[in-house]
Structure 1
Amino acid sequence: MATTVAIIGAGPGGLVTARWLAAQGFEPHLFEQAAALGGQWSGLDGTSGVWPGLYTNTSRILTAFSDLPHDGDQTFLAAGDIRRYLIRYADTFGLVDRIRLSTKVSRLSRGARGWTVETDSGAESFDRVVVASGRFQTPAVPTVHGMDSFAGPEGVTSTFHYRGADRYRGKRVLVGGCAVSALEIAAELAQGGAEAVVVTQRRQRYVLPKFAAGVPSDHRIFTRYGALADERLPRSAVDRQLRDIVTDAGGSPEQYGAPRPDPSLFAAGVTLSQDYLPLVAEGRIGIRPWLTSVSGRDVTFGDGSTAAFDGIVFGTGFALDLPFLGDEIRATVDLDTVHLDADRYTFHPDLPGLAFVGMWDQSGGYFVPLELQARWIAYTWGGVIPPPDPVAQRASIDAYRERRGLPQKTRMNLAVLTFARAAGCEPDLDTWPDLQRALLFGPLAPNCFRLEGPDALPGAAAAFARDAAAFGAITSNALTTREQEHWELLRAADG
């Protein structure tokens, strides 16, 4: 009899985990609270923060799984394209009949046989459970003095509940935050007929355009070299290299009339947005320091200035919220609104048979690391690779706990390399001499993790070469001058 696995959530993380668990002979059952699969990409108001006009800020190649490419050659995809892709993925791998839609999990706890999942339909037992419900469904709206008094006709909301610019046409709108949703929505409002758009921010981030010199920026910044540099080079050197990539691609914010960011990209942060800085330069988006108080329609900022607004939209991140976890699980992982203790965001040695998917906060696309995390879980539970050592797991959790209180956002390339190594499918550079440059400085395309290890594919090398050369950035194995300098730094660090 097949081992049963309850998967909580039928978004990208839940779907790709179900696909790989089924391939290992498990029997996955997906529970989805919404009326459609896709998680955030369903676009359903109340359970999704994806608005109708959203386009991905990650490229087509890095917003896909390794065994199902997107149709067509459009570089950045509309939200509806991603939703249809996930439906096609579920259909391709026989997952549709495994999904229970409109079924909200109210409690997860240990049972007499494995794990107990409770819904409105009752309680069921499963051998194992994967929590893949996502971490981007509970907006973290900041506390501001007098916010309850705001009297603008469009009220106060978050980017999670934003559904388009039409309601703000002819209105004065304040957008709080400088993460991707805040900047993209500010740009959409400015182009959609708002009378005035002002962004209030605690600090000025660097802003990386989605496209630079004809190449998607995620192909340049989220590379394997970047992850290796983080491991082996001084933090200051990595900081400088990343800042150079960002400013070479799109300049520095002060060149557009925005405030000058901190010289350290790590201190300032970086956000992907194609149109935001040009709209600042045109005067169609204003920038103010962080708001300090609200009175009626008037908002006062940190520099003492005051302005009246019709609506406020906050794009200030999300709280980690897993309300269905039973008390024992919650205490074991020491869950709060930011943290969840687990070895590499996945397993806890005191909770065998339970795994978490997609619970880390990162910049960059999630599809590639989600698939690698799913493969790690499936290979571990399926016996393809040895189980993690409990002592090493506890050391990993202790190291994570020491970082509590520090910024938690990681970069896509670090998550990718972490899970690829865990799953045993990180490609060896020496094995692929004709692909060395692409594997180091090219995109972290999903098919490069099908080159070797479990589930290697014969055609992966040719597919990866095509993806790496898709935009003309990697067309030969000859390193550019900058790449050569970076590679020599890395080799010198290795001794």
Structure 2
Amino acid sequence: MTTTVAVIGAGPGGLVAARWLAAQGFEPHLFEQAPVLGGQWSGLDGTSGVWPGLYTNTSRVLTAFSDLPHGGDQTFLAAGDIRRYLQRYAEAFGLVDRIRLSTRVSGLSRAARGWTVDTDGGAETFDRVVVASGRFQKPTVPAVPGLDSFVGSEGATSTFHYRGADRYRGKRVLVGGCAVSALEVAAELAQGGAEAVVVTQRRQRYVLPKFAAGVPSDHRIFTRYGALADERLPRSVVDRQLRDIVTEAGGSPEQYGAPRPDPSLFAAGVTLSQHYLPLVAEGRIGIRPWLTSVSGRDVTFGDGSTAAFDGLIFGTGFALDLPFLDDDIRATVGLDAVHLDADRHTFHPDLPGLAFVGMWDQSGGYFVPLELQARWIAYTWGGVIPPPDPDAQRAAVDAYRARRGLPQKTRMNLAALTFARAAGCEPDLGAWPDLQRALLFGPLAPSSFRLEGPDALPGAAEAFARDAAAFGAITSTGFTDRERECWELLQSH
């Protein structure tokens, strides 16, 4: 008898989970509240924070799943390209007819046998459930005294609801935050005819251009070496190495006229944006300390200065929002606006048959780790790999719970290696001598996780060689002096 799986969400996480579950003989049923698939990439206001003019900050190599590369040689893709890619992916793996569009899940609870999923159409029972409804659905706007009194003509909103620069042409706009959406929106506004654009921030982050010296920055910073270094080297060494990568690619913010960030990249944080710092250097984007109060159109900042604005746009993060979970599940995973207790963001030992996809916060693109997490779930439930040890799961949950209150953002390479190891598809460096340099210092391309383990592909080595060489001769066997120094340092620990 076929095992049924409800997959809540038909964005990248839900689609890739359904693809791998179907490959293991499960019968996935996808529920999508929007009238189209794609999740964030649908571009629909209210359910998506992707605006029409957005381009990816991640390269085409790392914004793809292992079974379906992008066509063409465009490095960074438009939002519409990603939406069409996900449609092609759903068609390629027979997922389209499995998706119930315009179907909002209002409840999820345990049943006598399996799980009950409530929708507007009624209640249904499934053997298992994957929650893939998205981590970035509920934008948070910080409490600022007087914010409700703002009377600027364009109002106060979040980057989640931003849909382009046209309405702000000739206007004075304040953008709150220093994460990627805030900087990208600020840059688009400055180039799109706004009279003035000011960014207000709590601290200055390092800013990595998404493309430097002919290489996408996600190929530089999200490497397997970086993940291994994080595990083996002192934190101060990893901090310095990452800061060097960032500043060598794009300089340090103070060189552009922005405030000087903390010497520690971990303390300051890092954001990807191609145009933001050059626009600061040109005086087209101003920077102020964090705002302390609002009165009418006037905003007062931490340095005591005041300025009038027509619009406020906040790019200040998201709250974890899973309103359909019943009280039992919420209590078991300790759900709040930031945390969800689960072994490696996926399983909880007291909720067998339930898995979460894409519920962690990270820097870098999600496509590669999402696929690896989906494979782990499918292989675990399909019996391809041994089930997780419940005691080990509880230890992992306890360790996560102990970190509550600390920064939770991870890096794409750390998440990808975590899931690859769990799924049994991390490639062995010693087995691929001709690809060793690429596997260490090249991109964590999805093809590299089809070299060995379950669902290894005969042509994966050639595909990975092409992916790694797309922006440089990374597949050559000889390390550069710096790479060899890093590799020897890693081996000594």
Residue identity in the other structure for 1:64: A
Q: CA deviation at 1:31?
A: 0.2
Matching of residues 265-304 of structure 1 within 5 Å? 265-304=265-304
Matching of residues 58-457 of structure 1 within 5 Å? 58-457=58-457
SS in 1 for 2:62: coil
Whether 2:47 is the aligned partner of 1:47: answer yes
Matching of residues 459-470 of structure 1 within 5 Å? 459-470=459-470
Whether 2:14 is the aligned partner of 1:14: answer yes
Q: CA deviation at 1:113?
A: 2.1
Give percent identity, aligned residues only. 89
* Corresponding position of 1:472: 472
2 CA distance for matches of 1:344 and 1:171?
A: 45
Q: Deviations over 1:408-445 (max 9, x none)?
A: 10000000000000000000000000000000000000
Q: Which runs of 5+ in 1 are unaligned?
A: none
Q: Deviations over 1:108-137 (max 9, x none)?
A: 000122000000000000000000000101
SS in 2 for 1:74: coil
Q: Normalization by structure 1: what TM-score?
A: 0.99
Residue identity in the other structure for 1:472: G
Q: CA deviation at 1:475?
A: 4.2
1 CA distance for matches of 2:364 and 2:88?
A: 23
2 CA distance for matches of 1:307 and 1:479?
A: 53
* Corresponding position of 2:32: 32
2 CA distance for matches of 1:194 and 1:472?
A: 38
2 CA distance for matches of 1:94 and 1:388?
A: 30
Q: Deviations over 1:316-338 (max 9, x none)?
A: 00000000001100000000000
1 CA distance for matches of 2:326 and 2:401?
A: 21
Q: Which runs of 5+ in 2 are unaligned?
A: none
Deviates more, 1:476-485 or 1:121-130: 476-485
SS in 2 for 1:116: strand
Residue identity in the other structure for 1:105: V
Residue identity in the other structure for 2:485: E
2 CA distance for matches of 1:193 and 1:175?
A: 15
Q: CA deviation at 1:402?
A: 1.2
SS in 2 for 1:466: helix
Residue identity in the other structure for 2:28: P
Whether 2:14 is the aligned partner of 1:4: answer no
2:434–2:475 CA contact under 8 A, matched in 1:
no
Aligned residues: 493
1 CA distance for matches of 2:414 and 2:475?
A: 25
2 CA distance for matches of 1:102 and 1:411?
A: 33
Task: Describe the shift of the 1:408–1:473 C-alpha distance in structure 2 as closer, same or farther (beyond 3 A).
Answer: farther
2:437–2:475 CA contact under 8 A, matched in 1:
no
Q: CA deviation at 1:472?
A: 1.1
Q: Normalization by structure 2: what TM-score?
A: 1.00
1 CA distance for matches of 2:485 and 2:150?
A: 54
Deviates more, 1:246-255 or 1:398-407: 398-407
SS in 2 for 1:106: strand
1:215–1:473 CA contact under 8 A, matched in 2:
no
RMSD: 0.5
Deviates more, 1:393-402 or 1:194-203: 393-402
Residue identity in the other structure for 2:152: G
1 CA distance for matches of 2:397 and 2:56?
A: 33
2 CA distance for matches of 1:102 and 1:113?
A: 27
Q: CA deviation at 1:473?
A: 4.8
Residue identity in the other structure for 2:357: V
2 CA distance for matches of 1:177 and 1:79?
A: 22
Runs (4+) off by over 6 Å: none
1 CA distance for matches of 2:198 and 2:93?
A: 46
